Structure 1
Amino acid sequence: MTTQTATADTLLARYAADIAFVAEEQPATTLADFVNQMEIAADHLAGAGIQGASDLDAAAAALGAANSNLTDDGKRAWLISGAARFLANTTDMVDEYRLML
């Protein structure tokens, strides 16, 4: 079995549309915009009482740190991997949010 290493680009491609839906914006095309939309989406999901909304805040913090001027590729990869774990339930949270609308 092959496992794919998460990158900022793969996370953006996988989750941008769902996050944008909750944030009520167009899908992000940059990591900085994605981080901002995750923070907005976390607030909206929390306001709707959806469990796990705080995971988006944690993912946003990790990706924001990874997007900063890090020169340590190992630390950057570790932060992105952590963000991927926090984003793992995003689709389920967004599906729940859609059902509430």
Structure 2
Amino acid sequence: MATSTQPLTPANLISRYAADIAFVAEEQPATTVSDFTYQLGVAAENFEAAGIDGGDELEAGAQYLADGNAATDDTTRAVLLGKAAEYLARANGMADEYRDMV
């Protein structure tokens, strides 16, 4: 897997996953951290209801994203957003599995 040279920001994390998470949450794609973290929670519940593992990871990713967004220290922000990225890494695959079920 190629590594991105683009810095990790809340906006690029949202853009990576917003369309798939919105589909699962039955919403329009989120554009803000608060809307996206809310949709991650709804998606986690929908994944659980469909028997798809990983909802806990999404909820953890949402918390790291929110904390990273609020961080004022660049190093802390980078670490928290990195953790968010790790926890959200399976989101698109989970959404694909969900699509196959509905």
TM-score by shorter chain over 0.5? yes
- 1:8: which partner in 2? 10
- 1:32: which partner in 2? 34
Retained in 2: the 8 A contact 1:46–1:54?
A: no
Structure 1 outlier segments of 4+, above 6 Å:
none
Task: Give the Cα–Cα distance (whole angstroms) in 2 for the partners of residues 49 and 13 of structure 1.
Answer: 26
Task: Give the C-alpha shift of residue 54 in structure 1.
Answer: 1.2
Unaligned 5+ runs, structure 2: none
- 1:94: which partner in 2? 95
TM-score (norm 2): 0.90
Identity %: 50
Q: Are 1:73 and 2:59 matched, yes or no?
A: no
Unaligned 5+ runs, structure 1: none
- 1:60: which partner in 2? 62
Would you say how many aligned residue pairs link Structure 1 and Structure 2?
100
- 1:17: which partner in 2? 19
Task: Give the Cα–Cα distance (whole angstroms) in 1 for the partners of residues 21 and 98 of structure 2.
Answer: 11
